[in-house]
Amino acid sequence: MKVAVLMGSPSDHEKMTPAAEVLERFGIEADVQVVSAHRSPDRVVAVASRAREEGYVAVICGAGMAAHLAGVVAAHTTLPVVGVPLSGGALGGIDALLSTVQMPTGVPVATVAIDGAANAALLVVQMLGIHDEDLASKLADHRDELSGRLDRFVPRS
């Protein structure tokens, strides 16, 4: 299983690294690429339109400002696309959030929080876990681990 983790600029790498790390933690290959909806649109279309036949199961797209990457990818594949609006620019990521979430009917992009690359990967893991018991079990263990971290902060009486 592999997931394409796409970003619009090399400067987005640090913000998108958590997606690749989460996927790899769950045993899913993360194919990280820089492709720009504005600077390399033909490459974006090629990656998106061949994604299913190349064995990808989902695509995570991170972009800032105008943030058209996830929408362009979604227009060229029937795989699940998760958009990660990235912070930066004059509006601190609000522009990217609106660009990513406001897709027309028929071309959905699941959208997570600004700079939410880790949650994008977890959403993909949840989708894959619907039919993969091993992933579902790993995800349940992950949730238990998160819950255990909170227990350290609960006062004992």
Measured CA to CA, the distance from residue 155 to residue 157 in angstroms comes to: 6
Q: CA–CA distance from 61 to each of 17, 81, 108, 149 (Å)?
A: 12, 7, 13, 29
pLDDT at 49: 98
> Is pLDDT of 154 > 70?
no
pTM over the 0.75 mark: yes
Protein fold of 2-151: Rossmann fold (3.40.50)
Q: What is the CA radius of gyration of the chain?
A: 16
Q: Distance between terminal CA atoms of the chain?
A: 47
pLDDT at 100: 96
What are the extents of the domains in the chain? Answer: 2-151
Measured CA to CA, the distance from residue 14 to residue 20 in angstroms comes to: 11
Cβ count near 138 (within 10 Å): 16
Burial class (CB in 10 A: 0-12, 13-18, 19+), 135: buried
> Is pLDDT of 135 > 90?
yes
Measured CA to CA, the distance from residue 142 to residue 30 in angstroms comes to: 19
pLDDT in tens, 70-127: 999 999 999 999 999 999 988 999 999 999 999 999 999 999 999 999 999 999 999 9
pLDDT in tens, 20-60: 999 999 999 999 999 999 999 999 999 999 999 999 999 99
3-state secondary structure of 41: helix
Measured CA to CA, the distance from residue 134 to residue 9 in angstroms comes to: 34
> Is pLDDT of 140 > 70?
yes
pLDDT at 31: 98
